[in-house]
């Protein structure tokens, strides 16, 4: 039965998550003069040299690639803040620090295209890697608590973390739900006069009359 389900069916791909993260806004300092942009996703600008403005990340990266702006990394992406976060993550065995929903994707995007705008980029990068590792370790430990009593599981995690554990969590909860649900089991055991068989393919028995 488990072989039939499609565990990847509803998952987002990494590229799709990055796409979503690109809509988050970020501050840039343009070095060009450009009129206001009235885009489908909102109005941005006008752009004046040295005057900071908020734009979606995809727009920031597009300008950055052409050398038309510098990107101001978000507050949480400083060595100081990240060190605090990492310490707090290590101190607590079960709770997670508040980070932006798309922190993994945003930091990836900025590391790829705006390295020179991030102070202490190597340090920042390794701190984010460490935070990711610590969190994943905790997530793994947390998943051991999953049981047949679990009807709701709190996952206040980031988009990428949620996406990575999705197949396992939803699959596991589903299996527990099925096992813990009397009606679903009764249904496959109802025909008592038949010899016990692998109980997973109820309807197929009809063929064997």
Site residues (vs other proteins, CB under 8 A): 5, 10, 12, 16, 19-20, 22-23, 32, 34-35, 37, 39-42, 58-59, 62-63, 66, 68, 151-157, 159, 162, 166, 169-170, 173-174, 177-178, 180-181, 203-204, 206-207, 209
Residue 110 CB, nearest approach to other proteins (Å): 18
Nearer to other proteins, 134 or 165 (CB): 165
Nearer to other proteins, 16 or 120 (CB): 16
- Distance, CA of 109 to CA of 21 (rounded, Å): 9
- Distance, CA of 94 to CA of 139 (rounded, Å): 8
- Distance, CA of 199 to CA of 179 (rounded, Å): 12
Residues 6 or more apart from 114 whose CB is under 8 A from it? 60, 61, 64, 70, 71, 73
Q: Measured in Å, how far apart are the chain's first and last C-alpha atoms?
A: 22
Nearer to other proteins, 8 or 80 (CB): 8
Nearer to other proteins, 36 or 115 (CB): 36
Residue 119 CB, nearest approach to other proteins (Å): 27
Q: Determine the 3-state secondary structure of 203 from DSSP.
A: helix
């Amino acid at each position: 039965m488990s072989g039939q389900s499609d565990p990847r069916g509803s998952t987002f791909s990494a590229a799709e998550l990055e796409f979503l993260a690109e809509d988050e806004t970020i501050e840039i300092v343009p070095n060009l003069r450009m009129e206001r942009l009235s885009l489908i996703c909102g109005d941005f600008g006008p752009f004046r040299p040295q005057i900071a403005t908020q734009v979606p990340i995809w727009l920031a990266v597009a300008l950055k690639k052409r050398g038309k702006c510098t990107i101001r990394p978000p507050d949480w992406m400083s060595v100081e803040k990240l060190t605090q976060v990492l310490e707090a993550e290590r101190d607590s065995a079960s709770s997670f620090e508040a980070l932006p929903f798309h922190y993994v994707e945003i930091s990836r995007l900025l590391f790829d295209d705006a390295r020179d705008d991030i102070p202490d980029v190597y340090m920042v990068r390794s701190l984010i890697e460490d935070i990711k590792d610590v969190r994943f370790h905790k997530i793994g430990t947390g998943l051991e608590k999953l049981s047949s009593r679990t009807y709701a599981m709190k996952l206040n995690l980031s988009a990428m973390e949620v996406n990575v554990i999705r197949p396992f969590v939803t699959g596991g909860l589903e299996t527990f739900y099925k096992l813990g649900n009397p009606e679903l089991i009764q249904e496959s055991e109802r025909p008592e006069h038949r010899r016990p068989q692998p109980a997973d393919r109820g309807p197929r028995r009809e063929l064997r009359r």
